[in-house]
Structure 1
């Protein structure tokens, strides 16, 4: 299997010594994120997220299907990830890596299992027809923090997506065209955002060194990592820590508080980007959208 180029001893020594002095190669502070860019496609539910040089695409699709027999009132929601050689030569098509499994598992726990999407709102006819929502995540460039970028991508794409209006008459189900009835947004209960911490042992003062939004070079040198998923209300949805250095309870609490602060900023950034895109699509006028939604309600 192809591998990423190994970090030389000189690079490793330079990066670790710099971290002990609270310095990073790209000039950021230890607890700072890189600039996040959100680019929306022409279709609803398509988002291009750029976190530094890391680039992730997310696309939401929907189809009408039968519900699960044990959950007749709920729609379906799945997340599919694809790590390929376009993102990095270390990834191969058709051979999921450990990182691929980790990202898929944590996204599942962070978004689907935290009930970010209201599954009952996807029901069309109980035990007969429901909406099946699918989020496809594609990684185009890998320079660290793939999990954080993909979580932002999925949440933003879900908030950006619009479902066609459906009317039920007896046993007939009619899915209206976008030009006929204004599509409606998904019912999202909260926006869980992943924040990953990378650990590098102790600094000169004996304090545990940890940083946010690690680059690919920093990830290759870290001694351990931990991902905390939080929403803007400060509610922790999940914590994932597998292997690596041990994390003391005090450090864990610091990380949780820091994650909550960062998520508030990211949440606002996503909301502002969505509003700007809606204004752009409607040329600064949202009155027609409000009227369309009122008409749909009637």
Structure 2
């Protein structure tokens, strides 16, 4: 992962602003950037926008043999794609950098080890066939705090996803199409979400939801994966700093409030999407884009400011005359030089 050059003046300016309890984008210390969630036309597709950081997540499923250690449980697989389209710092060719590996493992711990999805309900035939749920997070734009954006996008896509219905007769398994039977939602026990805290001046100052520039100057960060029931699903600290236990408790109390707010946003978006689908209203990405027809014969009524228009016209004429006189003087000077 190649770092973009960052000047010392800009670094000092950001740190001084943080010490004065202010941020470059005008947010408070504990404020998130604007978060917007949009679902696609297909089930299990959603796009999460956290400020200028954009992540699109697609959930898919297929029938596979189970793991030998867990023959009666399905499989949940999480993958994060970092392409150079999102940021020039990401390596091309699909090679996973240290940042990508860290992000992928953190999401796996938050989603898989917290047992948010009931994997036993994904079993079709014990020891033979189970559902494998794949969560692919594609980073479209990187402007800091990808962990929170990816975790919210992944859990929203899992809650929005529907798998095909299955009937078992003896050893024969029949997967029904969407026309034959309605798809079945996944059994989700809780919604674990990540909240990132950035620390500065050896842990003396902290921020929630750091932007890309704030991430470049921070001493370290702490990611808390939590659900709205105050259950900590994962916790990770990185950087060269020392954090006291009081600081950890303070961050966990802040994370409870932020996780509750994000969970409500996801649930409201899911309800609005299901309501639009049931009523036959526009839904998905096309409904989120404001369409506007523009024709060649369209006329717009514009308000023209006529106050002092005569004075402005005289000023424009005077400027034009002065410019003409200057041109004439320059021509005369050129002629004199040529004659000399």
TM-score, length of structure 2 as denominator length? 0.80
Deviations 1:214-236 (A, max 9, x none): 11000000000010000010100
CA distance in 2, matches of 1:28, 1:284: 39
Deviations 1:176-211 (A, max 9, x none): 111211111100111000001000116xxxx82000
Any idea what SS the aligned residue of 1:259 has?
A: helix
Structure 2 residue runs without a partner (length 5+): 282-340
CA distance in 2, matches of 1:147, 1:160: 20
Matches within 5 A, 1:164-179: 164-179=164-179
Partner of 1:224: 220
Partner of 1:25: 24
Matches within 5 A, 1:204-219: 208-219=204-215
Tell me if the contact between 1:195 and 1:227 (Cα under 8 Å) persists in the aligned partners: yes
Tell me if the contact between 1:166 and 1:174 (Cα under 8 Å) persists in the aligned partners: yes
CA distance in 2, matches of 1:170, 1:117: 27
CA distance in 2, matches of 1:71, 1:107: 21
Question: In the alignment, is residue 101 of structure 1 matched against residue 98 of structure 2?
Answer: no
Tell me if the contact between 1:4 and 1:88 (Cα under 8 Å) persists in the aligned partners: no
1:284 deviation in Å?
7.1
1:95 deviation in Å?
2.2
CA distance in 1, matches of 2:113, 2:72: 17
Question: In the alignment, is residue 51 of structure 1 matched against residue 47 of structure 2?
Answer: no
Tell me if the contact between 2:156 and 2:266 (Cα under 8 Å) persists in the aligned partners: yes
Any idea what SS the aligned residue of 2:238 has?
A: coil
Deviations 1:139-187 (A, max 9, x none): 0100000011000011000000001110111111111111211111100
Deviations 1:220-268 (A, max 9, x none): 0000001000001010011101232111100000001100111000000
Question: In the alignment, is residue 253 of structure 1 matched against residue 249 of structure 2?
Answer: yes
Tell me if the contact between 2:193 and 2:227 (Cα under 8 Å) persists in the aligned partners: yes
Deviations 1:91-131 (A, max 9, x none): 11232111101101110111101101111010011111110
Q: How many residues align?
A: 280
Partner of 2:157: 157
Structure 1 residue runs without a partner (length 5+): 286-298
Tell me if the contact between 2:166 and 2:173 (Cα under 8 Å) persists in the aligned partners: yes
Partner of 1:282: 278
Tell me if the contact between 2:72 and 2:126 (Cα under 8 Å) persists in the aligned partners: yes
CA distance in 2, matches of 1:65, 1:242: 37
Question: In the alignment, is residue 133 of structure 1 matched against residue 133 of structure 2?
Answer: yes
CA distance in 1, matches of 2:239, 2:15: 20
TM-score, length of structure 1 as denominator length? 0.91
Deviations 1:13-72 (A, max 9, x none): 111111111100000001110111111111000011100000001100000111111211
Question: In the alignment, is residue 11 of structure 1 matched against residue 10 of structure 2?
Answer: yes
Partner of 1:195: 195
CA distance in 1, matches of 2:185, 2:240: 41
4+ runs deviating over 3 angstroms: none
What is the Cα-based RMSD across aligned positions, in Å? Answer: 1.3
Partner of 1:75: 74
